[in-house]
A and B are shown apart, each in its own frame.
Chain A
Amino acid sequence: MDKLIELRDVRKVYSTGRLEVQALRGIDLEVGRNEYVAIVGPSGSGKSTLMNILGCLDTPSSGSYTLSGEAVAGLDRNRLAEIRNRHIGFVFQSFNLLPYATALENVELPLLFAGVSTKERRERAAAMLERVELGDRMEHKPTELSGGQMQRVAIARALVNRPTILLADEPTGNLDSASGKAIVSLFEELHAAGQTIVLITHDSGIAKLASRVVRVQDGQIVEDVRAAA
């Protein structure tokens, strides 16, 4: 099995003045190609910190992180930005769409930062919106879309640059259950099509649908269960 993510004894310490908080206390984790991993845990367990490190939004205090064969620790901000652009597709709980830009423009953003030409950008973004069934909403602004539609725009944005990993942080947290279900089934579809997904959630019902559940508590992995294939 191809190893896309490899964490070795990753620790993260936050110091706030005199107080030191150990958010992660030695995480070892491997994620292979086309896995669908749910990371679960109560709030304060360190799963958000883990997500930040997996998404290269933050770097470990110690330990090593290899993403798609490349060591991430110690890279500068611009290099990290490139890696995020190329390998990670983010989906956030609160969608994080630019309010003044259209759905199409929002989806174009990662391609813009990647330096893709206008024509190709437009085509790929449009195709991706079609893929999430929003072909008729391309020129709409986020305020003109429902929550479920906004999250689908966000997913299209996450996938448009063909990331190695789709990294979703409580993607259904702000949605009603019907819209949430639609998003979850979209994830299953993507997984079936070969997309590697890491999902962070505290909703065990959603976690159950993943092919593997990693439980985090007090900054450590306490359980790692693979569903029978």
Chain B
Amino acid sequence: MKTLLAELRLVLRLFQADVTHNRKRIALTVIAIGWGTLSIVMLLSFGEGLRQSFHTNTRGMGVGIAVVWPGATTRPWAGLPAGRPIQFTDEDAELIAARIPEIDGVSREYSTRRGVAVGEKTVNARIRGVDASFGAMRNITPQPGGRFLNERDLQEKRRVVVLGDELAQDLFGSQDVVGRTVQIQQSTFTVVGVAVPKTMMGMYSGPDKGQATIPATTYKSMWTDHRMSNLIYRPVSPELGDQAKAQLYRILGGRYRFDPADERALGVWDTRRNQQITDNIGLGIQMFLGLIGALTLFVGGMGVANIMYAVVQERTREIGLKMALGAKARQVMAPFVVEALMMTAMGGLLGVFVGLVIITAIGLVPVTDDALAFLGKPTFSLPIAAATALILGSVGTLAGFFPARRAAAIQPAVSLRYE
């Protein structure tokens, strides 16, 4: 070990001598490695940005929730014919909450399109009547200064509304509108919150940003003949999702007298599936991009190996001399491996540095376009740094090892006469 450390000084000297002799060749190799590193860093970072945006956007509608629509029976059950439509009532939500321990949140959702007016200005928007738990489940977060609907709003049938960010902007030309009022069906509603902007990859009845959300009880008192359009529920944990769904069919099947195995009696959209699939797609894209980057880097590694082969050739006599003076195979090989590693490290640092500059520059560009928001920001993370270092390290070691092994195989008696 001590010998290796001492040898390192000599190696550095060697490298220096090599650099002055083959400046252009070494520069090209370092650039090749740098280019490979840059592409791997950029591709992985874009992949990470895309994966994160996938991850966030699939959760824009809520995490792990399921949406249930009333359906129609497709098979006769308990003396009743097939083709019977199911309709939800307010008691269903209470029943589900009380009887299914696997479910920890339920909300009703009534829904219609109506004009929402501020002064002379009217915007045709979706109005929905929901329970207080809806906001947390459906990821509708109030902007600072505002709040979502609460239990008292529901009990007292208050005329309060939470606006989507886009709807607030359209109506008021601003999103800072807590405390102001809007007219819905000649009724005055006080704005208690405006939702934080978000991107949604999945949705039903339009994006949340254009909707007005009011208490379900208020909604019912305004439109007494409306039927509930759907229910939202969230299982206690994602693993319990399938159990919760089976329980839902059993409980509602008992109540509305349909076969719990009759899938079409209820329409259930389990968002867990989508989230898992998009997560996998995101990971797949990232692995694919990483592979392309690794291959590019590998080409750079071949360049280093090539140079090292040439260097071994040029130093045949020197290698022979060192062997004559008693250098062991390890001591002959080490300088070549170290030199290859140094070239790789220089190229790697160059690539990572340029990559970080580009990523930071892209990060500073404000995102105005929806498609760009969807693509996400390229993100350089610790695992990416680790992966890059690992690949770089192995490429460098391999690129140094094979030429070094060739150097150690040189016969000193022959190489001392080599010119």
Q: Which residue of B lies closest to A53 (CB)?
A: B413
Contact of A77 among B7, B324, B325, B329 (CB under 8 A): B329
Q: Given A57-B324, A57-B416, A115-B2, do A98 and B318 touch, yes or no (CB 8 Å)? A: yes
Q: How distant is the Cα of A85 from the Cα of B10 in the complex, in angstroms?
A: 19
Q: What residues of A have a CB within 8 angstroms of the CB of B13 in the complex?
A: 100-101, 105
Contact B324 A84 (CB under 8 A): yes
The dominant DSSP class at the B interface is: helix
Q: Given A96-B317, A100-B17, A117-B2, do A109 and B322 touch, yes or no (CB 8 Å)? A: yes
Contact A96 B416 (CB under 8 A): yes
**Chain A: minimal CB distance from B107 (Å):** 76
Q: How distant is the Cα of A92 from the Cα of B324 in the complex, in angstroms?
A: 11
Contact A112 B6 (CB under 8 A): yes
- Kindly supply a per-residue 1/0 record for chain B positions 10-37, scoring 1 wherever the CB is within 8 Å of any chain A CB and 0 otherwise: 1001101100000000000000000000
Q: How distant is the Cα of A87 from the Cα of B316 in the complex, in angstroms?
A: 24
Q: Given A52-B413, A57-B416, do A90 and B324 touch, yes or no (CB 8 Å)? A: yes
Whether A13 is near chain B, meaning CB under 8 Å from some CB there, is no
Contact of B14 among A57, A100, A118 (CB under 8 A): A100
Interface centre among B14, B329, B331, B413 (most CB of A within 10 A): B413
Q: How distant is the Cα of A115 from the Cα of B413 in the complex, in angstroms?
A: 23
**Chain B: minimal CB distance from A158 (Å):** 9
Q: How distant is the Cα of A90 from the Cα of B321 in the complex, in angstroms?
A: 9
Whether B328 is near chain A, meaning CB under 8 Å from some CB there, is yes
**Chain A: minimal CB distance from B414 (Å):** 9
Q: Which residue of B lies closest to A115 (CB)?
A: B3
Whether B412 is near chain A, meaning CB under 8 Å from some CB there, is yes
Q: What residues of A have a CB within 8 angstroms of the CB of B416 in the complex?
A: 57, 92, 96
Whether B119 is near chain A, meaning CB under 8 Å from some CB there, is no
Whether B323 is near chain A, meaning CB under 8 Å from some CB there, is yes
- Kindly supply a per-residue 1/0 record for chain B positions 297-323, scoring 1 wherever the CB is within 8 Å of any chain A CB and 0 otherwise: 000000000000000000001100111
- Kindly supply a per-residue 1/0 record for chain A positions 110-150, scoring 1 wherever the CB is within 8 Å of any chain B CB and 0 otherwise: 10111101100100000000000000000000000000000
Q: How distant is the Cα of A148 from the Cα of B325 in the complex, in angstroms?
A: 21
**Chain B: minimal CB distance from A216 (Å):** 17
Contact of B325 among A58, A84, A105, A117 (CB under 8 A): A84
Whether A30 is near chain B, meaning CB under 8 Å from some CB there, is no
Contact A57 B413 (CB under 8 A): yes
Whether A81 is near chain B, meaning CB under 8 Å from some CB there, is yes
Contact A55 B324 (CB under 8 A): yes
Q: How distant is the Cα of A114 from the Cα of B326 in the complex, in angstroms?
A: 7
Contact of B326 among A52, A86, A99 (CB under 8 A): A86
Q: How distant is the Cα of A110 from the Cα of B3 in the complex, in angstroms?
A: 11
Contact A112 B328 (CB under 8 A): no
Q: Which residue of B lies closest to A108 (CB)?
A: B6
Q: How distant is the Cα of A85 from the Cα of B413 in the complex, in angstroms?
A: 15
Q: What residues of A have a CB within 8 angstroms of the CB of B6 in the complex?
A: 112, 118, 121
Whether B80 is near chain A, meaning CB under 8 Å from some CB there, is no
Q: What residues of B have a CB within 8 angstroms of the CB of A110 in the complex?
A: 325-326
Q: How distant is the Cα of A44 from the Cα of B328 in the complex, in angstroms?
A: 30
Q: What residues of B have a CB within 8 angstroms of the CB of A117 in the complex?
A: 2
Whether B357 is near chain A, meaning CB under 8 Å from some CB there, is no
Q: How distant is the Cα of A181 from the Cα of B312 in the complex, in angstroms?
A: 36
Contact B327 A81 (CB under 8 A): yes
Contact of A58 among B2, B3, B413 (CB under 8 A): B413
Q: How distant is the Cα of A58 from the Cα of B326 in the complex, in angstroms?
A: 13
Q: What residues of A have a CB within 8 angstroms of the CB of B413 in the complex?
A: 52, 57-58
Contact B318 A82 (CB under 8 A): no
- Kindly supply a per-residue 1/0 record for chain B positions 116-144, scoring 1 wherever the CB is within 8 Å of any chain A CB and 0 otherwise: 00000000000000000000000000000
Contact B325 A113 (CB under 8 A): yes
**Chain A: minimal CB distance from B210 (Å):** 73
Q: What residues of B have a CB within 8 angstroms of the CB of A100 in the complex?
A: 13-14, 16-17
Q: How distant is the Cα of A112 from the Cα of B11 in the complex, in angstroms?
A: 13
Contact A113 B328 (CB under 8 A): yes
Contact of B328 among A81, A90, A99 (CB under 8 A): A81
Contact A113 B322 (CB under 8 A): yes
Q: How distant is the Cα of A192 from the Cα of B341 in the complex, in angstroms?
A: 49
Interface residues of A in 60-103 (CB under 8 A from B): 77-78, 81-82, 84-86, 90, 92, 96, 98-101
Contact B329 A109 (CB under 8 A): no
Contact B329 A84 (CB under 8 A): no
**Chain B: minimal CB distance from A87 (Å):** 10
Q: How distant is the Cα of A98 from the Cα of B325 in the complex, in angstroms?
A: 12
Whether A157 is near chain B, meaning CB under 8 Å from some CB there, is yes
**Chain A: minimal CB distance from B9 (Å):** 9
Q: Sample 25 A-B pairs with CB under 8 A, ordered by A number.
A: A57-B323, A57-B324, A58-B411, A77-B328, A81-B327, A81-B328, A82-B328, A84-B326, A85-B325, A85-B326, A90-B324, A90-B325, A96-B321, A96-B416, A98-B318, A99-B17, A100-B14, A110-B326, A112-B7, A112-B10, A113-B3, A113-B328, A113-B331, A115-B2, A161-B326
18 A-B pairs besides A98-B321, A113-B326 with CB distance below 8 A are: A57-B411, A57-B413, A57-B416, A58-B411, A77-B329, A78-B328, A78-B329, A84-B325, A85-B326, A96-B317, A99-B17, A101-B13, A105-B10, A113-B3, A117-B2, A118-B6, A157-B325, A161-B326
Binding site for B on A (CB under 8 A): 52, 55, 57-58, 77-78, 81-82, 84-86, 90, 92, 96, 98-101, 105, 109-110, 112-115, 117-118, 121, 157, 161
